[in-house]
Amino acid sequence: MSSYYEKVDGIERCIDDEIPFEIPASWAWTRLFSLCSNITDGEHKTPRRTAEYEGYYLLSARNIRDGHLSLEDVDYVDGKEYLLISKRCNPKRNNILISCSGSIGRVCLVPDDGNYVMVRSAAVAVPILVHSKYLMYALQSEIVQKQIKSKIKQAVQANLFQGEIRNLIIPVPPFDEQQRIVRKLDYLLIKTKL
């Protein structure tokens, strides 16, 4: 197996112990933070919720399902609370949500540019250098899920913190190959639902 190195703050170090397997020469093992313009979790203070939908959703880990966003059991906030929370996190179409409290490691794509904000039990990653759906599939893969499980901090309730999320190591192929992988996985997932 080849040796893998990364440079952090000008210091190069071997990361062979983090690399689960060899990948093709055209691929690269890459930290999640290198693929995203932003990775953050939701609001840490308890938001003021509203009983009725006023145009603004308050997402939590329970809304993140494997591969889709569920709005069946969702909370709401008013416009004022939305503006306050959206300064920290404002998930948009093709951003990736990760459950980071309770049922940790569930991942989905944001399907639209709805008015979403989040609480601390969810994190958002904003991909810039990778196909969003490829990254979602990579985060759902057994290899990355093992990393996630190994990084969980156990207290009264299990948590996955931003630092651990940012440092997940992802196998990244060239963009055209990412697109082929996405098409193939989409096709296979449709076939399994029939």
Whether pLDDT at 152 is above 90: no
User: Is residue 125 within 8 Å of residue 37, measured between CB atoms?
Assistant: no
Place 156 in a pLDDT band, splitting at 50, 70 and 90.
low
Q: Please state the rounded mean pLDDT for residues 150-171.
A: 84
Residue 194's pLDDT band, with cuts at 50, 70 and 90, is low
With 70 as the cut, is the pLDDT of residue 24 above it? yes
pLDDT at residue 69 above 70? yes
Residue 2 pLDDT > 80, yes or no?
Answer: no
CA distance 139 to 149: 12
Q: Which residue has the tokens 């250098």?
A: 129
Would you state the structure tokens that stand for residue 162, as one six-digit string? 């931003």
Identify which of 4-8, 41-45, 58-62 has the greatest average pLDDT. 58-62
Cα–Cα dist 97/41, whole Å: 9
20: pLDDT strictly greater than 70: yes
In the predicted model, is pLDDT for residue 155 greater than 70?
no
Q: What is the pLDDT of residue 191?
A: 82
Query: Quick one: average pLDDT of 135-158?
Result: 88
Of the pLDDT bands very low, low, confident and very high (cuts 50, 70, 90), residue 178 is very high
Q: Does the CA dihedral 65-68-74-76 come out positive or negative?
A: positive
Average pLDDT, the chain: 92
Minimal CA–CA distance to 35: which of 106, 158, 129, 111? Answer: 129
Query: Taking 90 as the threshold, does the pLDDT of residue 91 lie above it?
Result: yes
Query: What is the per-residue pLDDT for 102?
Result: 83
Of 49, 153, 47, 169, residue with least CA distance to 101 = 153
Of the chain, the percentage scoring pLDDT greater than 70 comes to 97
Q: Is the per-residue pLDDT at 107 higher than 90?
A: yes
Instruction: Count CA atoms within 13 Å of residue 41 on its CB side.
Output: 20
